[in-house]
Structure 1
Amino acid sequence: MLKRLSIYFKEMYPIVPRLILGTIIFLEIYFILLLNYGITDFSIGIAEFVGSFTIFSFLLMLRIADDFKDYETDKRLFPERPLPSGRVHKIDLKIFVTILIIVTCILNFIFMNNIWFFLFLYVYGWLMSVWFFKKHKIQKSLPLALVTHNPVQLIMNIYIISFTCIKYNLYPFTLTSFLVAFTLYFPALIWEISRKIRAPKDETEYTTYSKLFGYKKSTRFVLILTLVDILTNFLLVYRLNRIAIGVLFINVAWMTWKFISFMKDPTQYKIVDKVERYTYIQESTMILVVVVYLIVGYI
C-alpha cells in the first residue's frame, strides 16, 4: 500500500512542495492581517505549525475527494492517472485519508483556539465530497459546481483569520480582515476558471467555460476578476510597502495584455499558463512585502 501511495503523491500531490505551500498560505494571511492591524509583536508557537499542517492536510483531503468524485469521468478522459489506471487502489486512499483526518482533528482540538471554524471548514469539505447531496444537479452544471465548491478557499482563509484574531484579541469584522479573506480567494477562483478556458480547436468532450459561454466572454470575466483581485492587494500592500505597488501594477498590466491578446487569438497559448505565472509573481510579491517589513519596516 505504501508503494502505491508513493505513486499517488508523486503524481497527484507532491508532499514536500505542498507542505511548503500550506505553510506559505497560512503565514501569508497570518502576517498580512497582523501587520495591517499594526501588530508587530508576534508570538509564534506550535499552533502556527498545526494551522499550516491543517491547510496542507485539508487541500490533500480535497484532492483525494476529487479523485473519488471524478473516478468514472477520469477513467474515460484521464485513464493514465494513478487511481483510474489501477496503480493506486481506492482502499489505499480511504485508509490514508481517514488517518489524516483523525490526526488533523486531534491536533486542532489540542492546540488551536478556533475549533468551531475548523469544524465548519471540514464539514464544508465533506459536503463538497458528497456534492452537497445534489450530485445529479451539480455534476452536470459547471457554474453550479463553481458556486458550491470554490468558496471553500474563502472558508479556509477565514479559518486562518479566526485563529489570528482570537490569539491576538483583534476585532474581526473590519475592512482589513475582509480584504485579507479575499486576497487568496480570488487567485484560486481565477485559476479555476482559466484552466477551463480553451481555444475552439482545443475543445473536447470535457466541459469548459469556453464551451458553455465562448472563450471571449469567459476570458473577459476572468479579466474583471483579476482587476478586482489586484485592488485588494493594492489596499493591503499600500500600508506596508509602496514600492511593491509598482511591481503589482506592472504584473497586472502584463496579465491584462495577455487576456486581451488571447481574446484576439486564442491559439497562441493556454491562458491558464499565463494566469499561473501572474499568480506566482503576485503572491511572491505579497510574501516579500511581509518579509521586508519584518526585517526593515515600512518602505
Structure 2
Amino acid sequence: MIKRLAIYYQEMYPIIPRLFLAFVMFFEIYFLLLLNYQVPLTKISVGIPEIIGSLTIFIFLMLLRIVDDFKDYETDRRLFPERALPSGRVQKQDLIKVMVVAIAFIFISNLIWMNNFGFFLFLFIYGTLMSVWFFQKSKIQPNLILALVTHNPVQLVMNAYIISFTCFKYQVSLFSWTSFLVMLTLYFPALIWEISRKVRAPQDETAYVTYSSIFGYQKATKFVLLLTAADVVTNILLTIRLNKFATVVIVLNLIWFLLKGKQFLKDPTAFRLVEKVERYTYFLETLMVLVVIIYLLVGRL
C-alpha cells in the first residue's frame, strides 16, 4: 500500500510542492488582510492555529484531488488510462484509507485549535456536495459550464475560511471591501487556470470537452484575458498602499500576458495558453508574497 500511495502522490499530488503552496496561500491571504487593515506588526503572532489552517488547506485540496479521481474514473479509463488510479497502480481502497485518516485529523484539529469551526464545516460540506455532484450528476457532469459554476467557487470558500480565522483572531471586520478584495485575490488565478487549461487550438480538440470546443478558442481566450485584467485590478488595490513599485511590476506582467494572449489569438498552435497563464500566475503570486515580506521587514515602499 505504501508503495502504491507513493506512486499516487508522486504523479497526482506531489506532497512538498503542494504543502508549500498551501502555506503560501494561507499566509498570503493572512498577511494581505492584516496589512491592509493596518494591524500593528507588534500585535501579529503566528502559532499552532496558523499551521493547522495551512494544513487544512493542504489536506482539503488533497481530498478534492482524490475525489476528482474517483468521479472521473470511468472517463480516465478511456481518455487517460496511464494515470495512477485507472492504470491499477493505485487502488481505490488505498485512497479511501488516506481520506478517512485525513478527515479525522482536520476535524479534530479545527475543533481544538481554530476559532472558525463553522466556516470549516461549511468548507467541508461544500467539498462533500462537490464529491456527489450536488446530487445532480446527470445534469452537471456533461455540462462544462454548469460544472464550472458549481465547483470552481470552492476556491472562494477556502479563502473565506482563511479570512474568517484571521478576522476573528484580530477582531477586524469580516464583511468589508478589504475582506472582499482579499477573498478575490486568490480566486481569479484559480478561475483563470481552470478555464485556460481547457482552451486548445482547433486541430488539438479531441473527445474531451473544452471551452474552446464550445465557444471557439478566440472567445474563450478573450474571456481569459478579461478575467486576468480583473485579477490585476484586485491585486493593485491591495498592494498600492503597501508598495507602489510593485503595482508597476504588476501592470508590466499584465501587459506581457496580454501580448501573449494576442499572439495566441493569431496562432493557437504557437503554445498552450495554460502555460502562459501559469507563468503569469507564478510571477504575480511570488510578487504578492514579496510585497508582504518586504513590508514586514522594512515597511511601506
- Whether TM exceeds 0.5 here: the answer is yes
CA distance in 2, matches of 1:46, 1:173: 25
Q: Which residue of 2 aligns with 1:19?
A: 19
Q: Which residue of 2 aligns with 1:164?
A: 166
Q: Which residue of 2 aligns with 1:57?
A: 59
AA of the residue aligned to 1:152: V
Partner SS for 2:45 = coil
User: Please, which runs of 5 or more residues in structure 1 have no aligned partner?
Assistant: none
- Mapping of residues 1-40 of structure 1, within 5 Å: 1-39=1-39, 40=41
CA distance in 2, matches of 1:30, 1:197: 33
Once the two structures are superposed, what CA deviation does each residue of 1:202-241 show, in whole Å capped at 9, x if it has no partner? 1010000000000000001111100001000000000100
Total equivalences in the alignment: 299
Compute the displacement of 1:2 (Å): 1.1
Compute the displacement of 1:45 (Å): 1.0
Pick from 212, 215, 237: which aligns with 2:214? 212
Once the two structures are superposed, what CA deviation does each residue of 1:97-135 show, in whole Å capped at 9, x if it has no partner? 111011111100000000000000010001000000000
Q: Which residue of 2 aligns with 1:146?
A: 148
CA distance in 2, matches of 1:143, 1:19: 30
Q: Which residue of 2 aligns with 1:186?
A: 188
CA distance in 1, matches of 2:103, 2:75: 26
Q: Which residue of 2 aligns with 1:292?
A: 294
Compute the displacement of 1:17 (Å): 1.1
CA distance in 1, matches of 2:90, 2:176: 46
- Mapping of residues 100-249 of structure 1, within 5 Å: 100-249=102-251
Name the TM-score, length of structure 1 as normaliser.
Answer: 0.99
CA distance in 2, matches of 1:187, 1:15: 21
CA distance in 2, matches of 1:257, 1:276: 15
Compute the displacement of 1:171 (Å): 1.1
Root-mean-square deviation (CA, aligned residues, Å) is 0.5
CA distance in 2, matches of 1:89, 1:240: 49
Compute the displacement of 1:284 (Å): 0.3
AA of the residue aligned to 1:170: V
User: Please, which runs of 5 or more residues in structure 2 have no aligned partner?
Assistant: none
Q: Percent identity?
A: 62
CA distance in 1, matches of 2:62, 2:249: 32
CA distance in 2, matches of 1:96, 1:189: 28
Partner SS for 2:64 = helix
CA distance in 2, matches of 1:15, 1:44: 23
CA distance in 2, matches of 1:254, 1:216: 18
CA distance in 1, matches of 2:266, 2:17: 36
CA distance in 2, matches of 1:162, 1:230: 24
Pick from 260, 281, 284: which aligns with 1:282? 284
CA distance in 2, matches of 1:70, 1:147: 18
Partner SS for 2:209 = coil
CA distance in 2, matches of 1:59, 1:281: 22
AA of the residue aligned to 1:97: M
Compute the displacement of 1:149 (Å): 0.1
Pick from 256, 259, 263: which aligns with 1:261? 263
CA distance in 2, matches of 1:27, 1:237: 15
AA of the residue aligned to 2:36: N
Moved over 2 A (4+): none
